[in-house]
Structure 1
Amino acid sequence: MLLLGIDVGTSSIKVSVVDSETQSALVSAQYPETETEIKSLKTGWAEQSPEMWWDHVQNAILKANASGMYNPKDIGAIGIAYQMHGLVIVDKEQRVLRDSIIWCDSRAVEIGNSAFQKIGEQRSLSRLLNSPGNFTASKLAWVKENEPEVYAQIDKVMLPGDFIAMKLTGDITISASALSEGILWDFQDDAISQDVLECYGFSSSIFPPVKPVFSEHGYITSGVAEHLSLTPGIPVAYKSGDQPNNALSLNVLQPGEVAATAGTSGVIYGVSDQLTYDPESRVNTFAHVNYAADSKRLGVLLCINGTGILNRWVRDNFAAGTSYAQINTKGQEIPVGSAGLRVLPFGNGAERMLNNKMVGAHFHNIDFNLHTQAHIFRAVQEGIAFAFRYGLDIMRGNGMNPSVIRVGKANLFLSSLFTEAFVNATNVPVEFYDNDGSVGAAIGSGIGVKVFASEREAFTNNKAFQLIEPTSADLYEPVYQDWKKLLLKQLDLNNAN
């Protein structure tokens, strides 16, 4: 059986068609070729059009079909991965009521902080495993408070992947994993949180039926099937947020296993079997893809908003026409520490690991007679790696101590400069796997329709092809400590203001 995986990213849509027998991709396609813009109508806001995602999904599938590498009629199941925490709302005719308020939007921080106090800090942490913070539930509360005429028309609330599944099938479902990433799931009751519903004044009727991640969430309609040359009635059999899905694609399913990504944002994601939480909600705990009431599997997630987006910003504004590969090569010409140049990479909204502070990005110690373009390139990637180290230390304080981190060869991990900085700053080896989000989503759909006898069987051919170990952690440690002092000083300034 062939499996179709769809990855709804912030920058673009990627799809892969995977042969279930070999667990390898026959073809992958991306649409659009250029990075999709984020609408920012006000400082700290970030929105995208769900209908634009759907248009891009269709174009990506048609592009993959055009390769001629497979017969689309042989596809037997579809899986969807998606950018986490986005809010999508539709009316009774399944019409989108407003653009999605996406993951890096910061407008609901104070609403979430207020709910944390109203529900009670200890009750929130023990039941939700998080503060309501700036997550999906708080974004919905913002709509209720600021756009009441829009809120009054809501029939269903969903996450981005639920929306794409709705467009494919006409059905709307959600999972405990999705609800938990929106801070809408009570882990004590294993149900939608009554505390959150009562605090924000939401009716439970606006949330779709809850189904397991690995299950049939609807069947492709004849109209969609005809347009995309698919077989009518095949199921959408898997839906997951991008970070749990990335962990799945790297076979990170059991307690103690850890994955990382460094795309537009950066994430370290580890699996636990304990209902643990960070008292300050700097890292967050969600239901993993294989979470069940009788087999707790939790994903502990560190998110850094400003990673690849900073690297892109530097390329666009300091090196127009230069490829990422050229940036990496130039940066490698500079010794560790970038001759004192330090970069704080926090310019993409409120950072959870910094207590939801809007810190901004900062370049420190620029010397006009010393620093060159190459120094900037290196300092940026070092600064991103140091942000990962800072967050990993928070995770370590909460009991997550990885002996190895699994990653895909993609985004910033394509850069040997960044990989070296990441491995040595964290002092943790990195294993590379030849998988990505769209392949993981495809394999997830195979698990959902039981093509594989078990989750483990789905990854029998997924082996690490490279191991990078720390070789100069002693060189990076003093540079990191200097970087950390600058960050703490900046946080003090923010708190004073």
Structure 2
Amino acid sequence: MYFLGIDLGSSSVKLSVFDAEKGCTVGAVTAPEFEMDIIAPAFGWAEQDPNSWWEYVKDGIQALKNKKNIDLKQIAGIGIAYQMHGLVLVDENLNPVRSSIIWCDSRAAVIGNETYDLMGHDYCQQQILGSPGNFTASKLKWVQTNQPEVFEKAAYMMLPGDFIAAKLSGVAQISTSGLSEAALWNFSKGSLATEVLQAMGLPDNIIPEIVPNFGYQATIHPDVAFELGLHTAVKITYRAGDQPNNALSLNVLKPGEIATTAGTSAVIYAVSDSDNYDKENRINTFLHVNNTPLEKKNGVLLCINGSGILYQWLRKIMSVNSNDLIAYEKLNAEAAKLKAGSEGLRFYPFGNGVERIFNNKKANSGIQNLNFNIHQSSHLVRSACEGIVFAMNYGFDVMKSVGAGGEMVRAGNANLFLSPVFREIFTNTTQTTLELYNTSGAEGAARGAAYGYGYYASLEEAFAGLKCIERIEPNPILTAQYQDIYQEWKNHINIEI
């Protein structure tokens, strides 16, 4: 029996078909073959067209059939992972009424902060474990205030993955963990945070049907099944934001376990059985995928917006006058030419919107200590890797302060973690053991779908075949070096007052 995993990112859509009987992926594709556009109508804004996501999902499904020879009729269930915090507004026919305001758009931060002050800081921290900040609820309020004619057309708000599920099934839904990432979950009551909606003056009927992360959610619409070549009995049985799903993909399910990723953004995500929060809102807590009313499981998350997108930027500027973009492997090789510290060059990767670790305040972004007589392209690449990890460690220290730290971290062997230099910097700066796994968010979503469908009796069974492919321990000499470099880097962070 096959299960399809869809991982909707802001750069691409990845799809994997997982054979539950054999416990392995039998086909995987990425669509489109280029990186998806992010529209920036104004500084600090970031939007994408939800209809383009759907077209790329359909393209990917056809590529699984035509390029990977997958028998689509064997797919029994679908799991969906998606870029978190984005706002999709649809009409009654589930058609978008505007572009999606995606995760790295910072226009609504002021609204979230105003709501935080209005509701009271202590109240918000106790109920929603932080500020509404720049999350989906604040973006919804921004549309209501600034584009009332658009808001009037909206029947439902949803997150990016909910839109894909709706296009598959014809049913508007949102998950419990999805509400938590929208700042619309009351942790103390275990229900929709109607208090936030009321404080923002938002109607509660714009929230669609609420479903759990695992289990039967909807059946594919017959017309869609016919168009895509899928069986009409295919069920949607799992959905989650990309970071909770990344943790699931790495079998990070128990309190004290930690996952990390460094894709477009860089994230460290720790599972906790407590309602952890940071009074300065530099990190955030959401419902983890396996949370239940009887067994609390939260995910404490730090996010750095400028990670893989910084590497993409470097790739582009280092490919000037070339018909082809320089390979990421070449960038990794450039970084490996140098020792720790990049001969004094420092990179601050804060050029992709305001950062949560600075409470949504602007911080200096760019290069320090540039010397035209010393620094070359290899210095630029290595200092960028160091800057990304140093920013992650800055947030990791905050996580530790609220009891969400640890000494072992799991990552997929993908994105920046493909670089041995990046892995060295991460392990020795965070002073943690790094375990690498050959998995992906799309495969994790497929395994989640298999569990939600009922093929596996437990998540432990669903991930029984997941094996660590490499374990990297901190090196005491390098740890000492990176601690000195990190402290110097940290001392020169400039946060807007």
Provide the alpha-carbon RMSD of the alignment. 0.9
Could you give the per-residue CA deviations for residues 413-443 of structure 1, whole angstroms, max 9, x where no partner exists? 0111111111111111110011110000101
* 2: CA distance, partners of 1:265 / 1:311: 10
- TM-superposed deviation, 1:331: 1.3
Over 3 Å counting, the alpha-carbon distance change for 1:423 and 1:319 in structure 2 is: farther
1:260 corresponding residue in structure 2: 260
Aligned residues: 491
* 2: CA distance, partners of 1:330 / 1:174: 44
Q: Are 1:483 and 2:489 matched, yes or no?
A: yes
* Contact 1:116–1:124, Cα closer than 8 Å, also in 2: yes
2:45 corresponding residue in structure 1: 45
AA matched with 2:55: D
* 2: CA distance, partners of 1:400 / 1:78: 32
* Contact 1:221–1:233, Cα closer than 8 Å, also in 2: no
Residue aligned with 1:41, SS: coil
Residue aligned with 2:30, SS: strand
2:355 corresponding residue in structure 1: 351
- TM-superposed deviation, 1:84: 0.2
* Runs of 4+ in structure 1 over 2 Å off: 67-70, 318-321
Q: Are 1:414 and 2:441 matched, yes or no?
A: no
**Which of 388, 393, 396 matches 1:392?**
396
AA matched with 1:425: T
* 1: CA distance, partners of 2:336 / 2:492: 24
* 2: CA distance, partners of 1:70 / 1:101: 34
* Identity level (%): 46
AA matched with 2:376: T
Could you give the per-residue CA deviations for residues 279-301 of structure 1, whole angstroms, max 9, x where no partner exists? 11110000010111111100000
2:445 corresponding residue in structure 1: 441
Q: Are 1:425 and 2:425 matched, yes or no?
A: no
2:342 corresponding residue in structure 1: 338
- Superposition pairs for residues 71-150 of structure 1, below 5 Å? 71-150=71-150
* 1: CA distance, partners of 2:276 / 2:342: 38
Structure 1: gaps (5+ residues): none
1:227 corresponding residue in structure 2: 227
Could you give the per-residue CA deviations for residues 363-398 of structure 1, whole angstroms, max 9, x where no partner exists? 000000111111111111111111111111111111
* Contact 2:407–2:431, Cα closer than 8 Å, also in 1: no
2:55 corresponding residue in structure 1: 55
Residue aligned with 1:152, SS: helix
* 2: CA distance, partners of 1:23 / 1:275: 34
Residue aligned with 2:3, SS: strand
* 1: CA distance, partners of 2:186 / 2:85: 17
* Contact 1:26–1:69, Cα closer than 8 Å, also in 2: no
Q: Which stretch of structure 1 is more off in the superposition, 315-324 or 192-201?
A: 315-324
Could you give the per-residue CA deviations for residues 78-112 of structure 1, whole angstroms, max 9, x where no partner exists? 00000000000111121210000000000001100
Residue aligned with 1:254, SS: coil
- Superposition pairs for residues 249-328 of structure 1, below 5 Å? 249-320=249-320, 321-328=325-332
- TM-superposed deviation, 1:67: 2.7
* 1: CA distance, partners of 2:338 / 2:276: 41
1:182 corresponding residue in structure 2: 182
- TM-superposed deviation, 1:401: 2.0
Q: Which stretch of structure 1 is more off in the superposition, 52-61 or 203-212?
A: 203-212
* 1: CA distance, partners of 2:405 / 2:89: 38
Structure 2: gaps (5+ residues): none
- TM-superposed deviation, 1:360: 4.6
- Superposition pairs for residues 365-384 of structure 1, below 5 Å? 365-384=369-388
1:466 corresponding residue in structure 2: 470
- TM-superposed deviation, 1:319: 3.7
* Contact 2:87–2:159, Cα closer than 8 Å, also in 1: yes
- TM-superposed deviation, 1:189: 1.4
Compute the TM-score of the two structures, normalised by the length of structure 2.
0.97
2:217 corresponding residue in structure 1: 217
* 2: CA distance, partners of 1:438 / 1:8: 9
* Contact 1:22–1:461, Cα closer than 8 Å, also in 2: no
Compute the TM-score of the two structures, normalised by the length of structure 1.
0.97
* 1: CA distance, partners of 2:130 / 2:467: 34
* Contact 2:27–2:68, Cα closer than 8 Å, also in 1: no
Residue aligned with 1:370, SS: coil
- TM-superposed deviation, 1:194: 2.0
- TM-superposed deviation, 1:465: 1.2
